[in-house]
Amino acid sequence: MNHMNTSPKLNRRHLLAGSAGAWAATGLAGWTGQAAAQAKPLPALVAWKDAGSVIVHSASTLETRRSAFGTSVITPSEQLYLRNNLPAPDAAILNDRESWELTVEGVKGPRKLSLRELKGLGLETVATVLQCSGNGRAFFPSKPSGTAWTVGAAGCVLWSGVPLKTMAKALGGVADGMLYITGTGGEKLPDGLDPQSIVVERSVPIRALDDAMLAWEMNGAPLSLAHGGPLRLIVPGYQGVNNIKYIRRLAFTAAETNARIMSHGYRISPPGSKADPSQPSVQEMSVKSWINSPTHESGKLVAGTVQIHGVAFGGLDAVKRVEVSVDGGKTWADAQFIGPDLGKFAWRQFVLQARLPGGTHTLASRATDTAGKVQPEARIENVSGYNNTSWADHTVQVTVA
């Protein structure tokens, strides 16, 4: 998903098997009979996933089908999307989860902590939206390189682990002058390359300390290898790349990491430019929503009452309002939230009951968060197709008999 020119000419994209390019049409057109006939088998890493609920783009990228989200808040693990920047470590790391070690730096008492020790420090559970920053990339007319996600590179999941601030306090507190939280993944790096050109290492602002956690459980089960087990950094409200899998090092730092994935990867680069550290980094998520039903996958629709439902979230702020349009955004009506409110970092399910006469209708949703930010009509054009929150891009067309 990031465009990195490393030397030698080998980067994380080359290290991952498969290509998403051939699947771009499938992402835009939805799951058709032809696409189903060409479906790729589930990669071994996620052989336990529900094959009928996901689209396999490559060995490292799975997308949840729009019709599979349903009307419950939590996304089942077997339906959750997959996106890895490097091949996962050997599954043997899960044989003794409790012995997994994390190096903690930038605190007054730096040391290594085993997962067993981390579990003794504290416990919390939080629901968050986990979303790839390229979710919605397929809607960019410029056809950016990378996986052509539509809406399915996202889910709402429950994490359990120790709050980062609790761990920091146990080690004497954060050292003076530290402005960032830097996490380093535990994937095996290939020989012969500058580690900084390939390592998955990201920095987020220190203000994330209030909400971040080190998680060892997802949706009530020990964290799977595919989703970062045995230990993952969770930064609620931030795009998925900042939620470091297989975390081996957690450092409070005075500056951002100079790893390529931070300095040049995941930057909002204007069209025609190349990524550089001066451009905005993919960090916090923005207010967003989309409709999951009805869509062209819903089968034959007949004139009458229909329940239009979907999901909405606000990134660092809770979503407050969702409006739905049945005429492509010309007029709007307030939807109602359904299901439990699992906190400001979770998404909310919404529904609008509407009567649809015969003909073709363009359905849209538009969310507003508690800070007053409104989901925009237009996307922000950028080279890599990041952060697409455009309500116009996420519309669905349905034909009613």
Residue among 325, 242, 252 nearest 285 (CA): 242
Is 91 inside any structural domain?
yes
Is 310 inside any structural domain?
yes
Q: What is the CATH number of the domain that holds 315?
A: 2.60.40.650
Of 249, 264, 279, the residue at which a domain comes to its end is 264
pLDDT at 314 over 60: yes
Taking the complete model, does pTM exceed 0.85, yes or no? Answer: yes
In which domain, by residue range, is 373 found?
288-400
pLDDT at 18 over 50: no
Q: What is the pLDDT of residues 43-71, one digit of tens each?
A: 999 999 999 999 999 999 999 999 999 99
pLDDT of residue 38: 52
Beta carbons of 390 and 138 less than 8 angstroms apart: no
Of 248, 264, 280, the residue at which a domain comes to its end is 264
Question: End-to-end CA distance of the chain, in Å?
Answer: 40
pLDDT at 22 over 50: no
The token pair that represents 68 in the structure block: 């599979």
Domain total of the chain: 2
Does one domain contain both 216 and 343? no
Q: What distance in Å separates the CA atoms of residue 401 and residue 268, rounded to the nearest whole number?
A: 43
Q: What is the pLDDT of residues 346-361, one digit of tens each?
A: 999 999 999 999 999 9
